[in-house]
């Protein structure tokens, strides 16, 4: 009988040489082995030739270990950081119709490090930034205000 | 002085001491071929198919340990080569494969013979490059050779657009390779090494599990010394055949799906497994939950992703095997006394006596493939390099040929590519002309690169192909017999060419033999004539490869040959 081990959620940061093919290498590594990518963000690291790719993924302990080793094997990968000890944040933009209670929406956003960032024709746009799990709660809570569109940034992380 | 990108390729190959390139030209790579025409520093061998060019370069590399080099054109030239790249990747063969590409301005336009070559090769190479300007070529080619040969070796693919081969730039090959993100670990962790030695000293039934990493790191001599000194028994993986001489009393045999009873039992019963650069292939481990259940596992490998991939390892040691074993050898000598394992060796001997590797020779019936292989071994031994194709004949060769050195056995272990054997044997002959290059093949596999008869004849590389002809895709037929109630779906190869005439039509020599005497006479004649040969050996169609661990079964649950009464 095979043990059923629950999948762990993990955020892995990968420091890579900032070159054209590197994202394809990493995405290909996940795709080719059936590893799951929940979110992925990329941005250059200031004043260096490197970029940081932050990947939220899930899998058994063995799979996560294997992902990390395989990432290390890619030639343009400098470093793979996978710590339980890290700050993780995500941003979300949500668009509401103006008919909804602006004050209530603003109050809810404030509770999740956010605010109203744009008021346009018939819509308002809010921004919140928090831990990914808290973003989930926020999006659950704002359902009563009939959000028209939701954009999540994907998670970024930094070691403590 | 500025030189063209095409000329740079030549200069780089010269600087890397390349003495042979296997390849096939076409539109996108013509500038480079024009420069090949003008130079005399290395030989170019024109194979008759791009896949064969890669396999020939693999054969050359597997024989010499040097980086194999192949060259192909864009589009279909490249896609024909993909099987070879994948084969080299799976067997960690150091290779640099250079392909032409359509001009930069045409990339992405579905131009004639355009294919996203680096997109395709990404998953079957150690690394790859698309060169976008000639000025990058010296750095990229130097990196390519360095990456191919260092760490866990593997193929590197360099794709060069046609206009880049015409661009002029300065060529400076003296710059050291500087790859901040690629620094393979060489030295093993000394604390971990000491712990491993303690575990071996505490064990009663230790076992060396020898893998392909040994030849890759050039550690065979060290391994032989350590085995001789410690008197710990050893099993070899398919890719490690020849690491120990067949005469070595500590060598049990090959392990895995078609490993010997004693080897597989030793793997299952040992209490300390000392793994030197194997990759715990599923064809070796069998059912994972039952694999080496009682053993503490020590795994030394240069590739961290090989360690603990499938099996939990108690003492992982990341490092170049040769360097780690250099550190270990004195500790073995001071800590391990051969007398410690006498009763374990006795146990293994009993396993071996109970079910030795064997077959039933039937003097009245058709030739047995195992006899043919043993006979080649008895006649040629160390004087031959042995390549194979893929199938039953390959497993019989691994089981029955008396290998006496590493790099003597050249076969497609990881990918299992039918069609590998003949072109590989051509590369082997080019690499080691003094020795006889034999390709032991099947009636199915040989047709998958049969056009290479022309290459072998043209370049006077007298490979001897021994076709163990069972008129079947034998290995598949074996599985059908065992696991599909003998429904022989699409495996009957009764329809065959006349291999004798076929060989002759290319300028080689052919023999069809069905008795022992005929076989020996044909082999001797082919060796004496020193020409490209095909010996079509009619063998017993129904023979199967045993022992066998059914896929996914436990290593100790083997189907065994019936005992002779
Ligand atoms: C390119 C390729 N296609 C298919 C297979 C699957 N396969 C493995 S062994 C085998 C039969 C090989 O037949 P033959 O060369 O006659 O060798 P035999 O097993 O009869 O010795 C086949 C079809 C393979 N390994 N490679
Ligand atoms: Mg056959």
Residue A1 has pLDDT above 50, yes or no: no
Q: Which CATH architecture has domain B369-538?
A: 3-Layer(aba) Sandwich (3.40)
- Using the beta-carbon criterion (under 8 Å), do A75 and B182 form an inter-chain contact? yes
Active site residue B62: no
Active site residue B112: yes
Indicate whether residue B387 lines ligand 1 (CB < 6 A). Answer: no
> Is the minimum CB–CB distance between A70 and chain B shorter than 8 Å?
yes
Tell me how far CA of residue B504 lies from CA of B467, B468, B470, B496, B501, in angstroms. Answer: 15, 19, 22, 16, 5
Chain B positions in Cβ-Cβ contact with residue A78 (cut-off 8 Å): 180-181
Are A24 and B147 in contact (CB < 8 Å)? Answer: no
Question: What mean pLDDT is predicted for residues B419-436?
Answer: 98
**Interface predicted TM-score (ipTM):** 0.87
Structural contact between residues A16 and A50, judged by C-beta atoms closer than 8 angstroms: yes
pLDDT at A84: 74
CA–centroid distance, residue B443 to ligand 2 (Å): 5
B420 a catalytic residue:
no
Q: Is B444 in the pocket of ligand 1 (CB under 6 A)?
A: yes
B113 given a catalytic annotation: yes
Tell me the mean pLDDT in the region B127-132.
98
CATH of region B190-354, choose from 3.40.50.170, 3.40.50.1220, 2.40.128.20, 1.10.10.10? 3.40.50.1220
- Our answer on whether the CB atom of B237 is closer than 6 Å to any ligand 1 atom is no
Place of tokens 């979110």: A39
| Number of cross-chain residue pairs from A and B with Cβ atoms under 8 Å apart | 36
- pLDDT tens-digit map of B386-395: 999 999 999 9
The class level of CATH for B2-170 reads alpha beta
Atom of ligand 1 nearest to the CA of B369: 21
Average pLDDT over residues A51-66: 91
pLDDT for residue A7 is more than 80: no
Instruction: Determine the distance in angstroms separating the CA of A152 from the nearest CA of chain B, rounded to an integer.
Output: 29
**DSSP β-bridge partners for residue B532:** none
pTM equals: 0.95
- In this predicted structure, the answer to whether residue A114 has a pLDDT above a threshold of 50 is yes
DSSP A75: T
Q: Which residues contact B189 (CB under 8 A, 6 or more apart)?
A: B317, B318, B319
Among the options B475, B534, B548, B558, which is catalytic?
B475
Helices and strands, counts by H and E, chain A: 4, 8
Which residues, 6+ apart, have CB-to-CB distance to A155 below 8 Å?
A11, A39, A41, A54, A56, A88, A89, A90, A132
Contact A32 B304 (CB under 8 A): no
Domains of chain A: 8-81 (3.30.70.260), 87-159 (3.30.70.1150)
CATH 3.40.50.1220 range(s) for chain B read: 190-354
Taking only the tens place, the pLDDT of each residue in B354-366 is 999 999 998 888 9
> Using a CB-CB distance cutoff of 8 angstroms, which residues of chain B are in contact with residue A62?
308
Q: How much distance in Å is there from the Cα of B448 to the middle of ligand 2?
A: 12
Q: Do B127 and A66 touch (CB under 8 A)?
A: no
Q: Which of B2, B39, B43, B112 is catalytic?
A: B112
Instruction: Give CATH 3.40.50.970 domain extents, chain B.
Output: 2-170, 369-538
Q: What end-to-end distance do the CA atoms of chain B give, in Å?
A: 79
Return the number of other C-beta atoms located less than 10 Å from residue B492's C-beta: 12
Query: Look-up: residue for tokens 């690394």?
Result: B127
């Amino acid at each position: 009988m095979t043990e059923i081990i629950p999948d762990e959620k993990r955020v892995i940061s990968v420091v890579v040489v900032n070159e054209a093919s590197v994202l394809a290498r990493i995405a290909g590594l996940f795709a080719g082995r059936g590893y799951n990518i929940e979110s992925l963000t990329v941005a250059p690291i200031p004043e260096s030739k490197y970029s940081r790719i932050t990947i939220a993924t899930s899998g058994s302990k063995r799979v996560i270990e294997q992902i990390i080793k395989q990432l290390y094997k890619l030639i343009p990968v400098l470093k793979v950081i996978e710590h339980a000890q890290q700050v993780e944040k995500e941003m979300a933009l949500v668009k509401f119709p103006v008919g909804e209670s602006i004050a209530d929406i603003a109050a809810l956003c404030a509770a999740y490090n956010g605010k109203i960032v744009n008021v346009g024709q018939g819509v308002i746009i809010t921004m919140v930034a928090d831990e990914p799990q808290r973003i989930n709660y926020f999006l659950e809570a704002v359902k009563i205000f009939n959000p028209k569109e939701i954009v999540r940034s994907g998670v970024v992380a930094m070691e403590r | 002085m500025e030189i063209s990108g095409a000329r740079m390729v030549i200069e780089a190959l010269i600087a890397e001491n390349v003495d042979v390139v296997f390849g096939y030209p076409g539109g996108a790579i013509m500038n480079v071929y024009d420069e090949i025409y003008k130079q005399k520093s290395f030989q170019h061998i024109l194979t008759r198919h791009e896949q064969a060019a890669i396999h020939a370069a693999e054969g050359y590399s597997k024989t010499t340990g040097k980086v194999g080099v192949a060259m192909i054109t864009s589009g279909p030239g490249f896609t024909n080569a993909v099987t070879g790249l994948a084969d080299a990747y799976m067997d960690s063969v150091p290779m640099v494969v250079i392909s032409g590409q359509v001009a930069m301005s045409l990339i992405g336009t579905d131009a004639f013979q355009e294919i996203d070559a680096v997109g395709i090769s990404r998953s079957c190479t150690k690394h790859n490059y698309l060169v976008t300007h000639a000025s990058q070529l010296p750095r990229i080619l130097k990196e390519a050779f360095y990456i191919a040969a260092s760490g866990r070796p593997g193929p590197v693919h360099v794709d060069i657009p046609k206009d880049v081969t015409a661009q002029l730039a300065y060529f400076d090959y003296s710059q050291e390779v500087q790859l901040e993100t690629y620094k393979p670990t060489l030295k093993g962790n000394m604390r971990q090494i000491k712990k491993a030695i303690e575990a071996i000293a505490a064990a009663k039934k230790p076992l060396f599990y020898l893998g392909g990493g040994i030849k890759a790191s050039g550690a065979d001599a060290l391994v032989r010394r350590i085995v001789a000194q410690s008197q710990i028994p050893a099993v070899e993986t398919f890719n490690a055949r020849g690491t120990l001489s067949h005469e070595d009393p500590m060598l049990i045999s090959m392990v895995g799906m078609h490993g010997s009873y004693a080897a597989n039992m030793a793997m299952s019963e040992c209490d300390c497994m000392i793994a030197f650069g194997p990759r715990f292939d599923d064809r070796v481990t069998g059912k994972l939950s039952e694999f080496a259940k009682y053993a503490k596992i020590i795994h030394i490998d240069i590739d961290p992703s090989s360690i603990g991939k499938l099996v939990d390892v108690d003492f992982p040691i990341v490092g170049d095997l040769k360097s780690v074993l250099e550190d270990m050898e004195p500790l073995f000598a001071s800590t391990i006394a051969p007398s410690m394992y006498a009763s374990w060796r006795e146990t293994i001997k009993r396993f071996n006596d109970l079910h030795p590797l064997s077959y039933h020779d039937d003097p009245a019936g058709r030739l047995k493939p195992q006899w043919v292989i043993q006979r080649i071994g008895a006649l040629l031994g160390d004087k031959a390099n042995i390549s194979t194709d893929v199938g039953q004949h390959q497993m019989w060769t691994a089981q029955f040929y008396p290998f006496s050195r590493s790099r003597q056995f050249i076969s497609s272990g990881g990918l299992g590519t039918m069609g590998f054997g003949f072109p590989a044997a051509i590369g082997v002959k080019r690499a080691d002309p003094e020795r006889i290059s034999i390709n032991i093949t099947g009636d199915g596999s040989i047709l998958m690169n049969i056009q290479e008869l022309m290459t072998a004849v043209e370049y006077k590389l007298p490979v001897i192909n021994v076709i163990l002809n069972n008129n079947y895709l034998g290995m598949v037929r074996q599985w059908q017999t065992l696991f599909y109630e003998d429904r022989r779906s699409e495996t009957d190869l009764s329809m065959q060419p006349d291999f004798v005439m076929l060989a002759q039509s290319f300028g080689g020599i052919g023999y069809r033999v069905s008795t022992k005497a005929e076989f020996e006479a044909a082999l001797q004649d082919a060796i004496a004539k020193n020409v490209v040969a095909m010996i079509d050996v009619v063998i017993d169609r129904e023979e199967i490869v045993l022992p066998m661990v059914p896929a996914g079964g436990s290593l100790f649950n083997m189907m065994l040959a019936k005992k002779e009464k």
